[in-house]
Amino acid sequence: MLDVKSFQLQSFLPLPYEEVLAPRLKRAHEKLQSGSGAGGEFTGWVHLPRDYDREEFARIQAAASRIRANSQALVVIGIGGSYLGARGVIDCLRSPNYNLKRKDTPNIYFVGNGLSSDAMGEVLDLVADVDFSVNVISKSGTTTEPAVAFRFFRAALEKKYGREGARERIYATTDKARGALKSLADSEGWETFVVPDDVGGRYSVLTAVGLLPIAVAGVDITALMQGAAEMMETCTEASFRCPAWRYAAIRYELYRAGRSIELLACYDPAFRFMAEWWKQLFGESEGKEGKGLFPASVEFTADLHSMGQYIQEGKRLMFETVVRLGPSDRQLTVPADEADGDGLNFLAGKSLDFIRDRAMEGTLLAHTEGGVPNLIVETSGRTPADLGQLIYFFEYACGLSGYLLDVNPFDQPGVEAYKKNMFALLGKPGYEDRRAQLESKLEG
């Protein structure tokens, strides 16, 4: 079972912080469990691992099986929560080099998460000569980046297979009853899956939003959900025996002590996009009303040779949360070298896991002594069940953290500002006055 461990935090935390903070954590916990807090209409994820739609889950598995049978590639179109969770799980459980590996599952390409013509064109080229399918993910169907991308890939499908053939290769994950994408899917006869009304995008990886592409990649989504259900059950306990309570409490107290940045670190490059998902989860949930930790991530040991100097001796703004995934699936040992020209024969016969763990321990000691608090989030291993636990743990801790800060952890009003400016500058009808104002500011 996942655990949260502090590392020599006594000098960084007020004592007895647990006793003082427990009543507030209990109130936050009750709000999550009952959906009675700010944004409570978006807490459907809290009991999702127990209450998810079994019929739709079976349809997801069936669709994934069809895609694996008839496609060499799946193009997943989405942005933010419709992108990062699935990519993080696939990278972590299958490989960050997934598309380069020899395998019996399709390559998976993620688009619609930016506005680069070169990036879009490259994926169009990559799927031009292979059989492919598309999973377009958008609750409204009008979010600019994915909607633009879908136009390109729908046209490519219809050119390649005809309108009838394309119909069997487009899967829309969208609102259950309304919106532009739902209407289009119904009129065209595409199979649809549901973005639940009560689950916001950044909490949606364990819905069809994440589960369809994850299943296409060959990940056991049943085990993923079982792991999440185990953590959900653990998080029902209103006490510091719950790891999400411990994590939320420590990061809140460090924040109150002046630590404004949380660095999420992992010693496995496969975790990179899980860290990107984590950054969206906490950044969108906490960063409002002038409050919230700034979520950043580092990949060790690589970033110890780039960011390590600042972490060790720079301004004391941060603390580190180190994710420890457990033993590697593949164990490699260092070979001996007769000449020992590099002087590393003292490592001969030792596993890379052993060397990595000593590097982690040395870093924990150095950074803590340098004034950077550290805590460890440790999984039992790196199976789908382990990752399901980790996903739910972070989601629950994030909900607790938002309520500790007295903000709504389930809205994102600040995200709309850039969209309004972009629509005006692009000439969208209804934004004429704003466009004139913005162009004047840009010229000035």
- Residue 89 dihedral angles phi and psi, to the nearest 5°: -65, -45
Distance CA 74, CA 291 (A): 39
Which tens digit of pLDDT belongs to each residue from 217-271? 999 999 999 999 999 999 999 999 999 999 999 999 999 999 999 999 999 999 9
Same domain for 232 and 208? no
Question: What secondary structure, in 3-state letters, does 382-431 show?
Answer: CCHHHHHHHHHHHHHHHHHHHHHCCCCCCCCHHHHHHHHHHHHHHCCCCC
| Range of the structural domain that residue 351 is part of | 1-35+222-403
Which tens digit of pLDDT belongs to each residue from 408-434? 999 998 777 788 888 887 788 888 778
Tell me whether residue 26 is in a domain: yes
Report helix angle 84-93 to 272-286, nearest 10.
Answer: 150
Residue 280: closest CA among 421, 142, 113: 113
| Among 7-16, 104-113, 245-254, the least confident range | 7-16
- For 124-130, what is the mean pLDDT? 98
Catalytic residue among 262, 284, 320, 395: 284
Same domain for 326 and 187? no
Same domain for 182 and 84? yes
Q: How many domains does the chain have?
A: 2
Active site residue 289: no
Active site residue 369: no
- Domain end residue (candidates: 173, 191, 218): 218
3-state helix, strand, coil in the chain (%, to 5): 55, 15, 30
What is the rounded average pLDDT for all residues in the chain? 96
Catalytic residue among 419, 420, 432, 439: 419
The pLDDT value given to residue 15:
84
Tell me whether residue 27 is in a domain: yes
Distance CA 306, CA 319 (A): 17
Q: Look up residue 354 and give its two tokens.
A: 């052993």
pTM (two decimals): 0.96
Same domain for 384 and 275? yes
- For 336-340, what is the mean pLDDT? 95
Cα 112 to the center of its chain, rounded Å: 16
Same domain for 214 and 226? no
Tell me whether residue 425 is in a domain: no
The pLDDT value given to residue 418:
84
Tell me whether residue 442 is in a domain: no
Which tens digit of pLDDT belongs to each residue from 144-187? 999 999 999 999 999 999 999 999 999 999 999 999 999 999 99
Which tens digit of pLDDT belongs to each residue from 277-306? 999 999 999 999 999 999 999 999 999 999
| 54 burial level (CB within 10 Å; 0-12, 13-18, 19+) | exposed
Same domain for 314 and 284? yes
444 pLDDT more than 80: no
- For 20-48, what is the mean pLDDT? 97
Residue 130: closest CA among 151, 109, 150: 109
Same domain for 339 and 283? yes
- For 11-39, what is the mean pLDDT? 95
Tell me whether residue 309 is in a domain: yes
Assign residue 90 the CATH number of its domain: 3.40.50.10490
- Residue 191 dihedral angles phi and psi, to the nearest 5°: -70, 140
